[in-house]
Structure 1
Amino acid sequence: MKILVLANFGMGLYNFRKELLNELINQKNEVYISLPKDEYVPKLVNLGCQFVETPLERRGTNPLKDGKLLLHYIKIIKRIKPDVVLTYTIKPNVYGGLACRIAKTPYITNITGLGTSLENKGVIQKITLGLYRSGLKRASCIFFQNETNRKVFFDKNVVKSKTRILPGSGVNLAQHPFEEYPDNDEKDRFLFIGRMMKAKGVEELLQAAKTVKEKYPNSQFDLIGSCEEDYYQQLAELNKSGIINYHGQQEDVHSFIKNSHATILPSYHEGTANVLLESASSGRPVLASRVPGCIETFDEDVSGFGFEVKSVESLVEAIIKFIRLPYEQKKAMGIAGRKKMENEFDRRIVINAYMNEINNL
Structure 2
Amino acid sequence: MRILIMANYANGLFLFRKELLKSFLDAGCEVVISVPPDENCKKLKDYCTKLIETPLERHGSNPVKDYGLFKNYKRIIKEEKPDVALCYTIKPNIYGALACRLKKVPYICNITGLGMAIENGGLMSKVLLQLYRISTGKANKVFFQNERNRQFMQSHGIACKNSGLLPGSGVNLTEHPFREYPGEADGIHFLAVIRMMKDKGIEEFLEAAKAITSEYDNVYFDLVGEYEEDERAKYEPMITALEKDGKLKYYGHLDTVEPVMAKCHVVVHPSYHEGLSNVLLEAAACGRPILCSNIHGCIEAIEPDRTGYTFEPKNADSLVASIRKMLTHTEAERREMGRLGRTYIEQSFDRQLVIDAYKLELEKIRK
TM over 0.5: yes
Matches within 5 A, 1:57-136: 57-136=57-136
Q: 2:315 aligns with which of 286, 311, 318?
A: 311
Q: C-alpha displacement at 1:270, in angstroms?
A: 0.3
Aligned-residue RMSD, C-alpha: 0.9
Offset from partner CA, 1:153-207 (integer Å, 9 cap, x none): 0111122341111000000000000001001315110000010111111111111
2:257 maps to which residue? 253
Q: Distance in 1 between matches of 2:349 and 2:118?
A: 26
Q: Distance in 2 between matches of 1:358 and 1:205?
A: 41
Give the aligned residue type for 1:125.
S
Give the aligned residue type for 1:219.
V
Any conservation in 2 of the 1:118–1:129 contact (CA below 8 Å)? yes
**Secondary structure, aligned partner of 2:314:** coil
Any conservation in 1 of the 2:194–2:202 contact (CA below 8 Å)? no
Any conservation in 1 of the 2:31–2:49 contact (CA below 8 Å)? yes
2:159 maps to which residue? 159
Any conservation in 1 of the 2:5–2:32 contact (CA below 8 Å)? yes
Q: Distance in 2 between matches of 1:238 and 1:14?
A: 32
Any conservation in 1 of the 2:143–2:163 contact (CA below 8 Å)? yes
Any conservation in 2 of the 1:138–1:161 contact (CA below 8 Å)? no
Give the aligned residue type for 1:222.
D
The range that moved more, 185-194 or 62-71, is: 185-194
1:329 is aligned to 2:330: no
1:209 maps to which residue? 209
Q: Distance in 1 between matches of 2:217 and 2:126?
A: 47
**Secondary structure, aligned partner of 1:231:** helix
Q: C-alpha displacement at 1:40, in angstroms?
A: 2.4
Matches within 5 A, 1:270-285: 270-285=274-289
Q: Distance in 2 between matches of 1:161 and 1:45?
A: 36
**Secondary structure, aligned partner of 1:247:** strand
TM-score by length of 1: 0.98
Matches within 5 A, 1:332-343: 332-343=336-347
Q: Distance in 1 between matches of 2:361 and 2:217?
A: 52
Q: C-alpha displacement at 1:307, in angstroms?
A: 0.8
Q: C-alpha displacement at 1:237, in angstroms?
A: 1.1
Q: Distance in 2 between matches of 1:119 and 1:221?
A: 30
Q: Distance in 2 between matches of 1:47 and 1:215?
A: 48
1:243 maps to which residue? 247
Any conservation in 1 of the 2:11–2:43 contact (CA below 8 Å)? no
Q: Distance in 2 between matches of 1:204 and 1:44?
A: 34
The range that moved more, 66-75 or 225-234, is: 225-234
Q: Distance in 2 between matches of 1:60 and 1:312?
A: 29
1:292 maps to which residue? 296
1:262 maps to which residue? 266
TM-score by length of 2: 0.97
Give the aligned residue type for 1:290.
N
Q: C-alpha displacement at 1:296, in angstroms?
A: 0.4
Percent of residue pairs identical: 47
Offset from partner CA, 1:53-82 (integer Å, 9 cap, x none): 100010011100000000000011011111
